[in-house]
């Protein structure tokens, strides 16, 4: 009976994680050594991601009713799940880097902000710049035309002021 309660608690905990993720990536870690797994976990932790080895049947039960449910058929073999609860780009980059460094780490499929993506889609997301960089580029793109507009308007106002000053000087000289 105790084991059943523990399993139910594990499924509930996993379901809670699945319900609040922005990204879930299923990986196959067959053939990885323990120190390699620790290194990947550390890289993901630095990127604000989490790595968890899951039991496939519990993961399928926990995914029911969440955005992770479409991945249920992919819970086979040695499965580790990578979670991101905020910006998915950082953990995606870290996982891609780890997969490049460790040939045994294979990416199966993912759900990123509600969209199911295959390996190619995941790699595309991993190559995107971080959210802060994209926002900075957007601000720069918006700011450049505004700066030009301000410069043009400033030039017009300055020309008008010089003209009025010249007219005033001419009238003062005439009187």
pLDDT in tens, 76-122: 998 999 999 988 888 999 999 999 999 999 999 999 988 899 988 88
Tallying the residues shown for the chain, one arrives at 175
44 and 107 inside one domain = yes
CA-CA distance, 65 to 24, in Å (whole number)?
15
90 and 155 inside one domain = no
Reference 25, options 74, 66, 61, 62; nearest CA is: 74
Q: Report, as ranges of residue numbers, the positions in the chain whose pLDDT lies below 70.
A: 1-2, 146
Question: Per the structure block, which two tokens stand in for 143?
Answer: 């700011």
Q: Supply the CATH number for residue 71's domain.
A: 3.30.70.1730
110 and 34 inside one domain = yes
46 and 97 inside one domain = yes
118 and 157 inside one domain = no
Q: Which domain holds residue 139?
A: 134-175
The pLDDT, as a whole number, for residue 30 is: 92
79 and 48 inside one domain = yes
The pLDDT, as a whole number, for residue 100 is: 92
115 and 53 inside one domain = yes
Among the candidates 111, 128, 145, a domain finishes at 128
| DSSP per-residue codes, the chain | -HHHHHHHHHHHHHHHHHHT-SEEEEEE-TT--HHHHHHHHHHHHHTTEEEEE--HHHHHHHHTTSTTGGGGGG--SSEEEEEESS-SHHHHHHHHHHHHH-TT-EEEEEEETTEEE-HHHHHHHHTSPPHHHHHHHHHHHHHHHHHHHHHHHHHHHHHHHHHHHHHHHHHHHH-
The pLDDT, as a whole number, for residue 83 is: 92
118 and 154 inside one domain = no
The pLDDT, as a whole number, for residue 2 is: 60
Domains of the chain: total:
2
């Amino acid at each position: 009976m105790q084991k059943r309660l523990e399993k139910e608690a594990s499924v509930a905990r996993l379901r809670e994680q699945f319900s609040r993720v922005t990204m879930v990536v299923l990986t196959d870690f067959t053939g990885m050594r323990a120190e390699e797994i620790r290194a990947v976990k550390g890289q993901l932790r630095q990127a604000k991601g989490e790595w968890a080895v899951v039991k496939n049947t519990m993961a399928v039960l926990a995914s029911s009713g969440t955005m992770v449910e479409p991945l249920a058929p992919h819970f086979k073999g040695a499965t580790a799940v990578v979670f991101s609860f905020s910006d998915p780009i950082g953990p995606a980059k870290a996982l891609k880097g780890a997969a490049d460094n460790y040939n045994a780490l294979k990416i199966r499929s993912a759900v990123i902000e509600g969209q199911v993506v295959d390996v190619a889609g995941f790699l595309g997301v991993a190559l995107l710049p971080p959210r802060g960089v994209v926002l900075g580029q957007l601000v720069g793109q918006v700011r450049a035309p505004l700066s030009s507009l301000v410069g043009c308007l400033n030039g017009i106002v300055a020309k008008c002021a010089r003209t009025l000053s010249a007219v005033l000087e001419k009238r003062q000289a005439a009187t």
